[in-house]
Structure 1
């Protein structure tokens, strides 16, 4: 219970001001398309040079947690994920906003984020030594099968059919191969100089989600029916709390999935949110409501992507292994102040380590309070005329894509993918499976190649990839996921094609 001893350090005037400022700034940065948690933390590192180590980490930690949650604002109101971690939030969150339930969706997202985030930080506090050893058990073969597990959920993710979902995912997997192979250095599909570094995930994310929205808004304006008045319904916070408590299954699945995936180095919050959404959908008796504005979709996604924050820092603080890109930037913030994470961090610098962790716990509460305060006002964005909204979203999209690497090439990639997605949506394809394929492609490929090298130097491919308890468990889950998706598709097809018998007596 050593962390309690350092709890008061968080409430020192300067530390508390930095915590509040980092939380508010993180919410604003998170709601800005293109500014991911990693970029937000990186932008703030220069401001920590003149601060003490613990104060700098408080600022960075607050920005990390609140940026992940803040991304839900643009995901819900504009259908533009503020960060890859908020992809799954768009699936039901934006549908709720279009029905005038934007305030409700935002309230649920911040409440779910707080619950998941607090649980994740508590795991970091109480189970750090145990979880660090468990995280080390994941090698290239396990990460490969974990990526394949993510691929198996593509078929049922926000698509009218499993086939179209899988085809969207395959397009994403192909897009992930563009650029130079990180392992072998081979050049692949570089038919334009802008593609030399591959497709940047942030630029792709903005293009695939935002540009189709912009084109749709402009098309409606051309047809003369662009004036669409959405009545924003007021929603009391106590009703949102009651709604959250009535959706315990979605809350539990999201928090559990986010906590486990956050612990695995290199996976990230985007996978946590999508897997949690998929599993909640599969276990829900209201499965057909997902994608139409179902609160459980928002709760599962947001609880998962915040629950992964705490566990993602376990390998960093105990083993000096960043568990996510943002954790890698935080590692830089530690090293700048001469603090080296590792097994002796909590012995040599307990004040820094525990004050930082405690600030993240308090930061989750502050993030929720500030988020709930702005939810009602932010929801009024839905009442902005579509002609104005289209121009604003287009401007934010260009800014977000360009700001990632200060490259017009990313803007061209964003525009091209956006136009392509606009036409694909007309044939029933969805952006979410495509993005998931784009994210999972490099993870699966890099770990397969690394695993192949290890396997060839040891016992061979089959024992390395198919042997061991953890591999067998992951393979079993992959098979079960595929079987479930196929069974649900066949069942739905059979129900759809069964003639309804007249029951009038």
Structure 2
């Protein structure tokens, strides 16, 4: 097998050094709120200009996978996702930390990331030609229904009811429409010049998650809870490994969903993590535990967003179609080295291709080892007084937002959305549905408009969107997802009413 043939090149002195350095740097960059994997890879592309093609691609690929896993650190410890892919991890990771299980949550994060990452890379190695052909079957109609399926997940994410979740998601979709129409080029909902460029994901992500957290820290500090902090428990790594690997369903759902989403061009890790989280919650015997510190939520989310990494490179290496925004940046790094995707990459440049994929496989092991080691020092983060942490997070929020486009408008948008979210959370609304709406809105709109034009040129718009095996299957999933969310909420509410009535009877007696 070609991979075994080129494995010694992966473990050679220089390439191994790049693997280790890229993993450590990627974990640290990923843990920085607002510094997404896409931005991290883009920032390091200039450093690969003078490197050999193999070494340059190894650096970018390892950085990609490590930043996705590293983003879970801030999501778990400070309730701020390091990247959009870690939004779902935060839903149960931070409650686990607040319950005195921060070390446990970090262990599950890196172990499940390694498992999902290995599965994604194995898919990349063994099924590239087959799955690349499958990815080509997804046109505008299929991508539109994928986005709608993601939107149906909104109702159960971080809000106190399905209705509030859907309403928050609808607000997110509306926010995503601000700016210019992608087809007609006309302005929409541009109330001020600061909104002419629309609302991009990084300002929205930082504003919705970081700023309410800053206000909460300041509020806790003023009320005398500034020194109140959750502890980092002592937990053997082996115990976490055994427990993590025993959650076969959570790992399987996360890895399968992550792989499938990664194969679909443009979807990204944030959709993989959220869809996998929602599906595992629906299959769980105790769905009401999710969002309150359920380990399976962390395991599913992290295995999904890391299995997506390898799968997103399948269409990129075979067809030149990136499966995620970060894969698109990585494609640029490939072209800069004079390498072009396609069959020739595996024949004329076999050494580069197979060494790169072998390095991705080895990097998963390094990511788990260094991730678990770094998690031991996370206790210093939570010991920082809350008013100091609030100031540090606020500075990072402004810096991270401004650095994306060097735009003061982005900073103003970030602060406005953060203030609004802080008050909305008092009424039971969560930031997760809003962010998901902002992410999925452009995907749904662009593919709907493209599909509408194609449908008008063919048999009609309705036939284009509602015919074909994949379309019908995705529509059925959307209906089932909405129906299940509603039924599940009614069951939870009836169970809560039964428990409260039982407590009332006990008091009376």
Q: Distance in 1 between matches of 2:189 and 2:266?
A: 25
Q: Distance in 1 between matches of 2:69 and 2:415?
A: 26
Q: Secondary structure at the match of 2:376?
A: helix
Matched, 1:49 2:44: no
Q: Secondary structure at the match of 1:463?
A: helix
Contact 1:234 1:376 in 2 (8 A): no
Q: Is 373-382 or 146-155 further displaced after alignment? A: 373-382
Q: Per-residue displacement from partner, 1:454-488 (whole Å, max 9, x unpaired)?
A: 00001101210000011011011111111111111
Q: Distance in 2 between matches of 1:224 and 1:107?
A: 31
Q: Distance in 1 between matches of 2:238 and 2:497?
A: 43
What residue is the counterpart of 1:108 in the other structure? Answer: 108
Q: Per-residue displacement from partner, 1:190-242 (whole Å, max 9, x unpaired)?
A: 11222111111011101100100110111122223322143321111011112
Matched, 1:400 2:400: yes
What residue is the counterpart of 1:187 in the other structure? Answer: 187
Contact 1:259 1:311 in 2 (8 A): yes
Matched, 1:282 2:269: no
Q: Distance in 2 between matches of 1:396 and 1:289?
A: 32
Q: Secondary structure at the match of 2:343?
A: coil
Q: Secondary structure at the match of 2:378?
A: helix
Q: Distance in 1 between matches of 2:139 and 2:50?
A: 39
What residue is the counterpart of 2:216 in the other structure? Answer: 216
The aligned runs of 1:99-498 (5 Å cut-off) are 99-498=99-498
Shift of 1:394: 0.9
Q: Distance in 2 between matches of 1:43 and 1:244?
A: 34
Contact 1:124 1:313 in 2 (8 A): yes
Q: Distance in 2 between matches of 1:419 and 1:353?
A: 47
Q: Distance in 1 between matches of 2:100 and 2:83?
A: 23
What residue is the counterpart of 1:84 in the other structure? Answer: 84
Q: Distance in 1 between matches of 2:381 and 2:98?
A: 11
Q: Distance in 2 between matches of 1:377 and 1:98?
A: 17
Q: Is 196-205 or 91-100 further displaced after alignment? A: 91-100
Contact 1:258 1:305 in 2 (8 A): yes
How large is the RMSD of aligned CA atoms in angstroms?
1.5
Shift of 1:348: 1.3
Q: Per-residue displacement from partner, 1:408-450 (whole Å, max 9, x unpaired)?
A: 1111111100000000000000000111111010000000000
Change (3 A) 1:256 1:221: same
Shift of 1:402: 1.0
Change (3 A) 1:339 1:229: closer
Q: Secondary structure at the match of 1:137?
A: coil
Shift of 1:246: 2.7
Shift of 1:135: 0.3
Q: Distance in 2 between matches of 1:16 and 1:232?
A: 32
What residue is the counterpart of 1:94 in the other structure? Answer: 94
Contact 1:26 1:70 in 2 (8 A): yes
Q: Distance in 1 between matches of 2:248 and 2:393?
A: 35
Q: Distance in 2 between matches of 1:157 and 1:463?
A: 32
Unmatched 5+ stretches in structure 1: none
Q: Distance in 2 between matches of 1:103 and 1:497?
A: 35
Shift of 1:26: 0.6
Shift of 1:379: 3.4
Q: Distance in 2 between matches of 1:46 and 1:492?
A: 53
Shift of 1:344: 2.1
State the TM-score, normalized to the length of structure 1: 0.98
Q: Distance in 2 between matches of 1:230 and 1:199?
A: 35
Shift of 1:245: 2.2
What residue is the counterpart of 1:11 in the other structure? Answer: 11
Q: Secondary structure at the match of 1:400?
A: helix
State the TM-score, normalized to the length of structure 2: 0.97
Shift of 1:496: 3.1
Q: Distance in 1 between matches of 2:212 and 2:420?
A: 9
What is the aligned length? Answer: 505
Contact 1:114 1:303 in 2 (8 A): yes
Q: Distance in 1 between matches of 2:489 and 2:24?
A: 44
Contact 2:102 2:231 in 1 (8 A): no
Q: Distance in 2 between matches of 1:235 and 1:393?
A: 28
What residue is the counterpart of 2:59 in the other structure? Answer: 59
Q: Distance in 2 between matches of 1:112 and 1:494?
A: 34
Contact 1:176 1:438 in 2 (8 A): yes
Shift of 1:46: 0.8
Shift of 1:132: 0.5
Contact 2:89 2:301 in 1 (8 A): yes
